[in-house]
A and B are shown apart, each in its own frame.
Chain A
Amino acid sequence: MHWPGRTIWDTRIQSVCGVLSADGDQGVEIYFSATFAQVSFDPPRIIVNPNRMYAIEEMIRRGRRFAINVVPLSEKENLIRLIRLRRRQTHKPEQLGLVICKDEHGIPFLQESLRTIFCEVDAEIPSGDRSLYVARVLESRRNPKYVGQQPLLFGEIAPSRFPSLHKTVRKVAIVTGGLDLAKKLVGKLRPSPPANIAKTTYEQAGATEPELSLIRSYGLLDRGRTLVPPAAPAVLTKKVGICVIGTGWGSFHCQVIHQVSPNARLFICGQNEERTARLARAVRAEAYFVGIENAVADPRVQAVTLALPHDLHRKAAEIAASAGKHVLVEKPIATTLADADSMLAKARQTGTILMVAEDMHFRPAIKEAFQRIARGDIGEPLHFLAHAAGVRRPRGWAANVERMGGGILMDIGVHYVRGLRLLMGEPNGVIATRAMQIDTKIAGEDNAQMLFSSEAGWQAHMLLSWSSLRGHIPDIVVAGEKGTLHLWPGASYLDFYPVRPTAILRLASYIRPYWLQAKFMREQFGRIRIGLRDKESGYQGEFREFLAAVAEGRSPVSPPQDGRRDLEIVLNCYEALSKHTSVAISPPESNFANGMPNPISGSDIRRS
């Protein structure tokens, strides 16, 4: 039976699967293509047609050289992962764990390909939303590892959990005419408009010049992402002598240290001897000290954690560093950038570790969401919503704006700024506003709302309040073109709502009458609940990382510059709040992020 083709994919002209690879200014870019073919014998030439929405097109246009890596059948899973990756994801080969090689041609190619065709562009034929590149074949090299193996074909890459079963059922349905019957039935339930290949293909995947200009204006690669959560929790192999400085929030530090390192040598330091001694007994500390100078003078103490009023962070950190002790400082790193810079300089000068205790960096749900965004589950991330609320009445130093450095924005906002940077990237601007102040006993703000924007095309909304409750809603939502993630505070799971309806919802959409269909269209049928593999909290993760870094004499995975940058953004929010206007956020310094040169290298760190 003949059916009218509705899209370009129905023409079956897509054939052998390949991966185009080319060099760019930010590393190697790779791109899936099943539409390359030979075009002449003498000289041997080949044509590729990369999509102009992808960075590879620009790289081929500029560099003029690329490789076509023919994909063997056995590499199907990797190809599916590549197809699912975000279009603007940087470092795609690294993300997929693919090995990139280079030889005398100077063209990057994939190690695991059936055949590699090295090409140099001879001519470019402008062709709408694709560029047609006619390229001379420099060399075609077969990989001996895959001798006898067939190339993967476009029709074979449909992902399936049970590929053999899927193939058999499909074949039976096709040969017996069952598929034709099903198509006719569906056609009766939902009649299709007359076939129009050009229109339908354009609507599904095409783009006009104005559309291309708009899409490309946000950047072909998302270069605004600088932070990466740790791949795995640190492993503690040695006992560390650690002193908790501060007896208020410090008691929580003690609890977490016991959880992650039950054998750690724990010490307590406070100002009030009675209170300090009581806490030391309660947490079974090895000893206690009155005054930070006494604590850092003790040779049993290798490192300190600072749970102090924010305005004391700098002084305490510098005292500890001067005595050669490594420092884990509570967030925010300080109340001013000058203080933060001074702390960083002291750590560098003394060769000690300075780490900011930011649990968001180690929160398992953030890591899972980060990985899902990177592998393309939600497509392009568009919106980040953070809602941190709960009735709290800070008193004492926390009610003093000078000592606290602000209000909820400084205390809680700084966490969500890190979450924002991890999941979305670096913001370029912010506007801020606030509702009426309910807690008039504190000088800082008890609520604030921020709207961040990025040149990469996303926006983020942050609502912080100490005067209202959040109720049962996630504290972070990340919405993208292909799905939405809900992160719940303290939960051992996160929720994923794919834009493409789940199988149950797709089936339910055929139920008639509509009142019966509505009974099956439940919210939970559109949700995929994802259990988190890491069971430790973000707090446990940050302490484990700090203790491991001290024990191993290495830099922590989150350098102190991350904390300084969080503070810088929070201070930009305060500026926006006071000026009632949008404030530009400067790009991070070049030596800032993970993967970039860290001012304190592992070899510089004093081994305890």
Chain B
Amino acid sequence: MLVEAGNTRNAMTVSFFSEVAHHPTALWVAISRKTYTYSLLEESSRFTLAILNQTQKALALHCGTISGKQEDKCKALKLYKSPGDFLFLHGALASTGCSVRERVNLGDHTLFVADIVESHIDSRKAHLRQLLLSDL
């Protein structure tokens, strides 16, 4: 998950996300309130969900074990800007730019329901499957 708030940006591995509805076209992501990403999301209501492929285990581990407060993890990522000004990730199966519509507190996590704004597919990775939590 890629978040940009002002001049600050961060990447964090998430596994709690899925689809919300087809109309309005939306997805949800659940983020722990202890994370740096959560604080950035409080400032910005836009984020990118980049779906990693099965070969991106190292990237997932890196972004999932180090806090963005300690290190700019985005430096190590091949990022580019989408036409809608979202941070998209080269090599991901797909990168999807979202705009937060609703926040719901659910115990240790907050649920962000977000409208899907735009998406890019990496056509050379389309034969690969998603990286699963069980792969890590």
Closest 10 pairs (CB-CB, A-B): A5-B119, A206-B23, A206-B22, A128-B21, A35-B19, A130-B21, A37-B18, A198-B25, A12-B51, A40-B109
A49 at the interface (CB under 8 A from B): yes
- Chain B residues bordering chain A, tally (CB within 8 A): 45
Complex Cα distance, B117 from A201, in Å, reads 12
Interface string of A2-18 (1 = CB under 8 A from B): 11110010111111100
A434 at the interface (CB under 8 A from B): no
A selection of 15 A-B contacts at a CB cut-off of 8 Å is A1-B123, A2-B122, A5-B120, A5-B121, A11-B94, A13-B51, A15-B18, A125-B113, A129-B21, A130-B22, A132-B113, A134-B111, A180-B124, A206-B22, A206-B23
Specify which of A5, A15, A36, A204 is in contact with B94 (CB 8 Å cutoff): A5
Asked if A39 meets B30 with Cβ closer than 8 Å, knowing A4-B118, A125-B104, the reply is: yes
Chain A residues positioned under 8 Å from B117 (CB to CB): 197
Report whether over half of chain B's contact residues are helix, strand or loop; otherwise say mixed: strand
A12 touches B124 (CB 8 A): no
Chain B residues positioned under 8 Å from A75 (CB to CB): none
A4 touches B24 (CB 8 A): no
A205 at the interface (CB under 8 A from B): yes
Specify which of B15, B25, B28, B88 is in contact with A132 (CB 8 Å cutoff): B28
Complex Cα distance, B24 from A205, in Å, reads 11
Which stretch from A170-178, A257-265, A465-473, A523-531 is at the chain B interface? A170-178
Chain A residues positioned under 8 Å from B30 (CB to CB): 38-40, 47
Complex Cα distance, B23 from A5, in Å, reads 16
Specify which of B18, B119, B124 is in contact with A174 (CB 8 Å cutoff): B124
Q: Which of B107-133 contact A (CB under 8 A)?
A: 107-109, 111, 113, 115-127, 129-130, 132
Interface string of B52-65 (1 = CB under 8 A from A): 00000000000000
Asked if A202 meets B106 with Cβ closer than 8 Å, knowing A3-B121, A38-B16, A197-B118, the reply is: no
A2 touches B21 (CB 8 A): no
A179 touches B123 (CB 8 A): yes
A127 at the interface (CB under 8 A from B): yes
Complex Cα distance, B16 from A43, in Å, reads 14
Q: Shortest distance in angstroms between B111's beta carbon and chain A's nearest beta carbon?
A: 6
A64 at the interface (CB under 8 A from B): no
Interface string of B28-59 (1 = CB under 8 A from A): 10100000000000000000010100000000
Chain A residues positioned under 8 Å from B17 (CB to CB): 13, 37
B27 at the interface (CB under 8 A from A): yes
A180 touches B22 (CB 8 A): no
- Chain A residues bordering chain B, tally (CB within 8 A): 55
Specify which of A129, A134, A171 is in contact with B22 (CB 8 Å cutoff): A129
Given A1-B123, A10-B119, A134-B106, 8 additional A-B pairs, CB 8 A: A2-B123, A12-B130, A15-B18, A39-B16, A40-B16, A41-B109, A128-B23, A174-B126
Specify which of A14, A49, A134, A195 is in contact with B20 (CB 8 Å cutoff): A49
Q: Shortest distance in angstroms between B44's beta carbon and chain A's nearest beta carbon?
A: 20
Q: Shortest distance in angstroms between A76's beta carbon and chain B's nearest beta carbon?
A: 14
Specify which of B21, B88, B108, B127 is in contact with A206 (CB 8 Å cutoff): B21
Complex Cα distance, B28 from A130, in Å, reads 13
A153 touches B130 (CB 8 A): yes
User: What is the chain B residue whose CB lies nearest that of A16?
Assistant: B132
B109 touches A39 (CB 8 A): yes
B3 at the interface (CB under 8 A from A): no
A284 at the interface (CB under 8 A from B): no
A192 at the interface (CB under 8 A from B): no
B115 touches A35 (CB 8 A): no
Q: Shortest distance in angstroms between A68's beta carbon and chain B's nearest beta carbon?
A: 12
B23 touches A202 (CB 8 A): yes
A155 at the interface (CB under 8 A from B): yes
Q: Shortest distance in angstroms between B42's beta carbon and chain A's nearest beta carbon?
A: 18
A585 at the interface (CB under 8 A from B): no
Q: Shortest distance in angstroms between A5's beta carbon and chain B's nearest beta carbon?
A: 3
A11 touches B49 (CB 8 A): yes
Chain A residues positioned under 8 Å from B111 (CB to CB): 39, 47, 125, 134
Complex Cα distance, B113 from A38, in Å, reads 15
A155 touches B121 (CB 8 A): no
Chain A residues positioned under 8 Å from B28 (CB to CB): 39, 47, 132
B10 at the interface (CB under 8 A from A): no
Q: Shortest distance in angstroms between A164's beta carbon and chain B's nearest beta carbon?
A: 13
Complex Cα distance, B32 from A38, in Å, reads 12
A155 touches B18 (CB 8 A): no
User: What is the chain A residue whose CB lies nearest that of B80?
Assistant: A2
User: What is the chain B residue whose CB lies nearest that of A4?
Assistant: B120
Chain A residues positioned under 8 Å from B102 (CB to CB): 125
B2 at the interface (CB under 8 A from A): no
User: What is the chain A residue whose CB lies nearest that of B120?
Assistant: A2
A127 touches B94 (CB 8 A): no
B12 at the interface (CB under 8 A from A): no
Asked if A201 meets B25 with Cβ closer than 8 Å, knowing A170-B127, A174-B123, the reply is: yes
A127 touches B120 (CB 8 A): no
A11 touches B27 (CB 8 A): yes
Interface centre among A15, A16, A128, A179 (most CB of B within 10 A): A15
User: What is the chain A residue whose CB lies nearest that of B98?
Assistant: A11
Q: Shortest distance in angstroms between A127's beta carbon and chain B's nearest beta carbon?
A: 5
A3 touches B123 (CB 8 A): yes
Asked if A127 meets B113 with Cβ closer than 8 Å, knowing A13-B51, A37-B15, the reply is: yes
A198 touches B120 (CB 8 A): no
A11 touches B108 (CB 8 A): no
Complex Cα distance, B107 from A43, in Å, reads 7
B121 touches A10 (CB 8 A): yes
A590 at the interface (CB under 8 A from B): no
Chain A residues positioned under 8 Å from B115 (CB to CB): 198
A160 at the interface (CB under 8 A from B): no
User: What is the chain A residue whose CB lies nearest that of B83?
Assistant: A4
